[in-house]
Structure formats: C-alpha cells, structure tokens
Amino acid sequence: MNFFEHQDRARTSTTRLLLLFVVAIATLVVGTSYVVALALAAMQAKSGRHVEFGMALPPDILLGTATVIVSVVLLGALYRIAQLHSGGRAIAESMGGRLLSRNQPSLDETKILNVVEEMALASGLPVPPVYVIEDDAINAFAAGYRQQDAVIGITRGAIKFLNRDELQGVIAHEFSHIFNGDMRLNLRLVGWLHGLLLIGLIGAQLLRLPQGMSRERSQAAGGILVLGLALAVLGYTGVMFGNIIKSAVSRQREFLADASAVQFTRNPDGIGNALKKIGGYALGSRMLMNETTEISHMLFGEGVMRRGIGGMFATHPPIGDRILRIDPRWNGELINPEHQREIAYSSLPDEPVAAGGLHATAGKAAAAEALAAVLVSAVGTATAQSLELAQSQLSAVPDAVKQHLQTTLEASLLMYGVVMVQSEPGVVSKQLNMLQQTLPPASVRLLAKQLKLLLPMPRELDLALVALAQPALKQLSPDQLEQFLKITADLISMDGVVTLPEWGLGRLLRHYLDSTHAVAAKLDLDECSEECRVLLSALAEAGNDSADAVAAFAAACSKLELTPTTMLPADTTLLDKAIDKLIQLKHLQKPRLLKAMVACVQHDGKLTTTELDLLRVVSALLDCPLPPLQ
C-alpha cells in the first residue's frame, strides 16, 4: 500500500469511526431518554400525581433529551479540539514537554535531534520540533493535524536508554504515523472521547446535588439521583465503548507503523531492540502522568497499565507480538537497558556516506514512465538510500550555519539570506537597503555575516536549510510570523520579477508555517483541468527553451488526457491560485498529476537541479513529500 492509498484509507477510517461514535451517541440518547422519563415520573409521583409510564417515550422528552445530549457531546468535543488548535505543540506542552534545540549541552539530546533531522530530510518533510518529556518510561509520540504542524515527543527514558539505531527505529515509526494520516485521526479521537466523558461528569455532579438541598426541595432529590446515576453510568459506558473503538483502531496502525519503520531504515534490529528494551525494563513504556490516558493511542508503546478483558482497552498489541512481526526468529529474550549504558552517538566521529540516488539514475535518460513510477512510489517514504542522502546533506551544511538555526531571530535572518543568495548582486544591495530600514542594525549586521556563510554553499542545500529552520520558525508569534512572511515576499519581489525558484521558496515557507488545518480532499482531476495547465506550463518553461517547452507541455497534458492548448505564461499569481485548488485533489487522484509533472520536466531526458527542486517544492505544496533527489 503506497502513500496515497494510506491517506485515502485514513480518510475512510475517520468516516467509519465517526459513524461508530454516532451509534454510541444515539445509544446514549435513547438510554438517557428512558431514564429522564423515569426520573420525571418519580418526581411527579412524589408530588402525589398519578403517572402512567409505559415503553413508549413521550416525543417531547425524547426530542429534548436528544438535543441536550448531542449538544453536550458536540460542544465538549469542539471545545477540546479547539484547545488542541495548535496541533502537536498543544499535546507536547500538556505533557510538560520541553522544546529541544542545539543550544542544549546534553550530548544525548543532540543525538535525538540528529536522528529527527535526518529522518525529516530523508522523507522530504520539514523538520518537526522535538519535545522531551521528563519521564523515565521508554516512549515517544508524533502529534499534529498535518505534516507541517507535527511535533515529535520523546521521553527522557527513551533518550537515556536507546542507542542511535534504536532511536532511529522509534522515530521512523513515528514518521510513519505522520505519513499515513494517523495524527489527525488521533487528535479527533481525543476530542470525541472528551465529549462523551462530559456526560459522565455531568452525571457525577448531579449525584452530589441532593446533599445540599433544603427539606422543601428534597422531594426532587430522588429524581435527580436517578438522573445523575443514569447519566454517570451511561456517560462512562459511552467512554468505555469509545475507548474500545479507539484501541482497536490504534492496534492495527501500530503494526503498520512498525513495518514501515523497518522499511524506512532497512534495519529491523533498531526498532526490534527498542521494543525488547521496553519489555525488559521494569517501568517499560508506562508513563507516570495523568495526561497519558487521553493520548495513550498516540504513543509508541502502551502508556498506561490497562488491558481489560482480552486486552480490549489496550491501545497497542502485546510487545511480544510486535517483536515477532519484526523478527519471526525471536527467541523470547528481552533486554534490560539499565544493565548497559549506550555511548551517545554525537560523541562518535561522523561516518562518510555516499551521495547518489534518483538524481544519478535520472541523468542516464531513464524512461519518463519508469522515473515517474519511482518518484510516485517514493512519496511519503524514507529509505536507507534517502537516509544516506539526508546524512550527506547534513554533513555538507557547515556547523557555523547550523548554529544560526537555533533562535527565531537567527533562523528568520538565515531564511532572508537564502532568498537573497539567489538574487543578482545589484538586487542584493537593494534588498540590504530595504532591510536596513526595517530591521535593527544589529540584525542587519548578523545577516551580513550569514550571507558570507551562505554564498559558498551549493544551492542544492537551500531546501534542506528551509526544512532545518522549521523548529525555530514555528516559535514565532503571530505578529512576528506575519512580519517574517511580509519581509520574505518583499525580498523576493524586489527586482519586480519573481522567478519560479524564488516563488517556490517563498510559497514553501508559507506552506510550512501555515497554521490553518488541512483542506478537504474532494476534487477530481477533471475539475481542475485549467489549474493543471497552469502548473504544467510553469514546469515546462522552467527547464526548457521555447520549442522544447511546448513539446514538454504537450507530453504532460497527454498524461492527463488534457487537450494541449496554448501554453500559459509563467505567472506566479496564477500558479498560486492553481496550487490552492490542486491541493484539494482526492488522494488517489494525485499520482496521475505527479506523473504528468515528471513527464514535463523529464521530457528532454535531463533533470536539472532547478527542475528537481521545483518538482520537490510543488509536491510538498500538494502534501506529497518527496525525499532528496540528489
């Protein structure tokens, strides 16, 4: 199953899960309605009235109860989801997480940052912020609504007890959840379960009310007690069934994420030994904080001691079953991590890695169809080869440049520098003059130093720098972010001409830092024919002269069965509007568009760095992340 099928399945699973919760709420409504009728009958009987109550519910009671229950559940769910509006960051902070940066003195913390950066670059994703949870359990999680707002949380125990290969396996597992669309579903589960829980909490409060009632009002106490008890029982019963649904969904996704981690790293011992250490560790993966219960389905390992009858409430398969899926020859032996302390990887010398990959094979004039199939299959994955490429890119970024990615100010200035090094010298002087009027003098001086570091670097590393800057840039306040994006746009348009590489860089920064939630995947390709022509025209013009560009455009249109009308001018305003609509394509419709894009840029049998970077940028904007290609 590829990336697009996983995304489509995640959407289908969300729909099914929603239906199951609707059934749970309907059951609550019916059950509560009967109890409300009984409570009213009891209160009327206390007042001396003759009450006849049968199996048929009065319509007014049924409608009123249904309205109240549904309103409480929906409002409770929406309130909790609103609390989690910032995505993974809200989850990490609710767990007491501390944001890591390379300014931290701990070699162990540097080790986990290295692993996360490599995995992000290898998969074509922006580097997610990493939060350390001060808990001795061995556990981790990925949380967020979209790839752009994902964060990685990892416990102190995992950082302390897992070596580099094991951490890589765990992080690859979490990145699989990002690829497969699990994070958005997981956050919605938190909201829906909170809505169901409110019914039980209201019932518990009603049970306390009669204690403070006066004698005159005590006649209603019986009815209130019945109602409170019913709401408590029914509410917590709804939560119980909700947790059963949550756990069943989560267990299957954990097996998939384990398998994906092995596929990404080509090292089953990494994640396998991490699981063995959880099994052999006294505390295991159980975290000692109340918030764990709410997010237990997001964690790498079972976060709470709760199995239930037949493991119904277990959010994860048994450790032994997971290990056997990875290593069928496992002899049952576990590892006690407290008996062996691993050396921090960051204290070891870097090993040289060989660069290569898709770019090398593309230069041999491989068939466009074959190359397109390779690229589409590479979307949303990380492989051993792409990990090597990511390590190569990280090694090629000077340490002096990495040091400017730690704070929001330095990272912002460095991104201005990445924009400016693509400009002509005459334009750079104008850009500096504009910045001198906008920024404090100390910031301009720092930017001038950064430019001296950036100029000798290969431009192939620019996208890697954008990805590496994301943890710091995501800490910008809304006002700071608005200013950052405005200055970036002003720098790009300084000479009055926006080239496609400049457009791609600016649009990618906006995309990664966009705080809005994902748009609905609802459109078919035939509803976006004009937008496809706009995009393919821009790609055709990017790497071909006039005659070849027309032929490339026609070849790409044929892949989508579009009539190859006259090429459109490379207008970045039109391109922005086209991307805004194309991002709404259904997941299973996107591979055809990607293949047409490849046919366009590879028509002349060559793939330039500009074409490859533009292909990666457009793919990222369509939420189809491509790994490094050179």
Give yes or no: 294 in active site: no
Above 70 in pLDDT, residue 153? yes
Q: Which stretch of 17-26, 69-78, 481-490 has the lowest confidence by average pLDDT?
A: 17-26
496: left (phi over 0), alpha (psi -120 to 50) or beta: left
Which tokens sit at 435?
A: 């910045």
Res 194: pLDDT? 78
Above 60 in pLDDT, residue 346? no
Task: Specify whether the CB–CB gap between 36 and 59 falls below 8 A.
Answer: no
* Most distant CA pair in the chain, distance: 95
Task: Specify whether the CB–CB gap between 438 and 446 falls below 8 A.
Answer: no
Res 354: pLDDT? 35
Res 77: pLDDT? 81
pLDDT digits (tens, 9 = 90+) for 278-317: 999 988 888 877 667 777 888 898 887 655 555 566 778 8
Res 626: pLDDT? 84
Structure confidence at residue 41 as a pLDDT band (50, 70, 90):
low
Q: What are phi and psi of 543, to 5 degrees?
A: -130, 20
Structure confidence at residue 360 as a pLDDT band (50, 70, 90):
very low
Q: Average the pLDDT over 41-65 and give the result.
A: 60
Above 70 in pLDDT, residue 244? yes
Which tokens sit at 431?
A: 């850009």
pLDDT digits (tens, 9 = 90+) for 99-122: 988 776 578 888 899 999 999 998
Residues 6+ apart with CB under 8 A from 83: 90
Res 206: pLDDT? 74
Structure confidence at residue 17 as a pLDDT band (50, 70, 90):
low
Order of strands across the sheet that contains 98-99: 98-99, 130-133, 151-155, 140-143
pLDDT digits (tens, 9 = 90+) for 298-307: 889 888 765 5
Q: Where are the alpha helices (DSSP H) in 478-589?
A: 478-492, 500-513, 529-542, 546-559, 572-582
pLDDT digits (tens, 9 = 90+) for 514-546: 877 666 778 889 899 999 999 999 888 876 666
Percent of the chain with pLDDT over 70: 79
CA dist 598 to 308, 530, 601, 615, Å? 51, 18, 5, 8
Res 505: pLDDT? 93
Comparing 98 with 242, which gets the higher pLDDT? 98
Rounded CA gap, 354 and 363, in Å?
A: 17
Res 139: pLDDT? 94
Which tokens sit at 527?
A: 């509803």
Res 311: pLDDT? 58
Res 617: pLDDT? 92
Helices and strands in the chain, H and E counts: 26, 4
Percent of the chain with pLDDT over 90: 29
Q: Average the pLDDT over 253-259 and give the result.
A: 81
Q: Average the pLDDT over 398-405 and give the result.
A: 91
- CATH architecture of the domain with range 89-178+257-339: 2-Layer Sandwich (3.30)
Above 60 in pLDDT, residue 365? no
Q: Per-domain residue ranges for the chain?
A: 3-86+185-249, 89-178+257-339, 397-513, 525-621
Dump the DSSP string for 261-329.
HHHHHS-HHHHHHHHHHHHHSSSTT---SGGGTTTGGGBSS--SS---GGGTT-SS--HHHHHHHH-TT
Give whichever of 17-26, 340-349, 561-570 has the largest mean pLDDT.
561-570
pLDDT digits (tens, 9 = 90+) for 205-229: 777 766 555 545 555 566 677 677 7
Task: Specify whether the CB–CB gap between 494 and 430 falls below 8 A.
Answer: yes
Q: What are phi and psi of 132, to 5 degrees?
A: -95, 130
Task: Specify whether the CB–CB gap between 553 and 537 falls below 8 A.
Answer: yes
Which tokens sit at 477?
A: 């306040």
552-559's contacts with Cβ under 8 Å and 24+ in sequence apart are 552/599, 552/600, 552/601, 552/603, 552/604, 553/600, 555/368, 555/599, 555/600, 555/603, 556/596, 556/597, 556/599, 556/600, 556/603, 557/532, 557/533, 557/596, 558/599, 559/592, 559/595, 559/596, 559/599
Above 70 in pLDDT, residue 171? yes
Nearest to 91 by CA among 128, 122, 124, 116: 128
Out of 117, 166, 174, 254, pick the active-site residue: 174
Structure confidence at residue 364 as a pLDDT band (50, 70, 90):
very low
Placement of tokens 């350390």 in the chain? 132
Res 342: pLDDT? 43
222-228's contacts with Cβ under 8 Å and 24+ in sequence apart are 222/42, 222/43, 222/46, 223/39, 223/40, 223/42, 223/43, 223/46, 224/39, 226/35, 226/38, 226/39, 226/42, 227/35, 227/36, 227/39, 227/203, 228/203, 228/204
Dump the DSSP string for 389-422.
HHHHHHHHS-HHHHGGGSSHHHHHHHHHHHHHTT
Q: Average the pLDDT over 455-477 and give the result.
A: 92
Comparing 474 with 15, which gets the higher pLDDT? 474
Res 156: pLDDT? 92
Q: Which helix (H) or strand (E) holds 244?
A: helix 221-265
Query: Considering the entire predicted model, what is its pTM?
Result: 0.78
Nearest to 305 by CA among 326, 276, 285: 285
Rounded CA gap, 35 and 228, in Å?
A: 10
Res 52: pLDDT? 55
Task: Specify whether the CB–CB gap between 167 and 275 falls below 8 A.
Answer: no
Above 80 in pLDDT, residue 598? yes
Res 49: pLDDT? 55
Above 90 in pLDDT, residue 627? no
Which tokens sit at 396?
A: 């090629």
Res 552: pLDDT? 87
Res 431: pLDDT? 93
Res 317: pLDDT? 84
Q: Which stretch of 161-170, 210-219, 445-454 has the lowest confidence by average pLDDT?
A: 210-219
Q: Average the pLDDT over 488-511 and give the result.
A: 91
Give whichever of 36-45, 113-122, 254-263, 352-361 has the largest mean pLDDT.
113-122
31-35's contacts with Cβ under 8 Å and 24+ in sequence apart are 31/230, 31/234, 32/65, 32/69, 32/199, 32/230, 32/231, 32/234, 33/57, 33/61, 33/62, 33/65, 33/66, 35/226, 35/227, 35/230, 35/231, 35/234
Residues 6+ apart with CB under 8 A from 345: 111, 114, 163, 164
Q: Average the pLDDT over 1-23 and give the result.
A: 62
CA dist 192 to 77, 109, 250, 311, Å? 5, 35, 15, 22
Q: How crowded is residue 551: how many other Cβ atoms within 10 Å of its Cβ?
A: 14
Above 50 in pLDDT, residue 622? yes
Comparing 509 with 386, which gets the higher pLDDT? 509
Above 80 in pLDDT, residue 556? yes
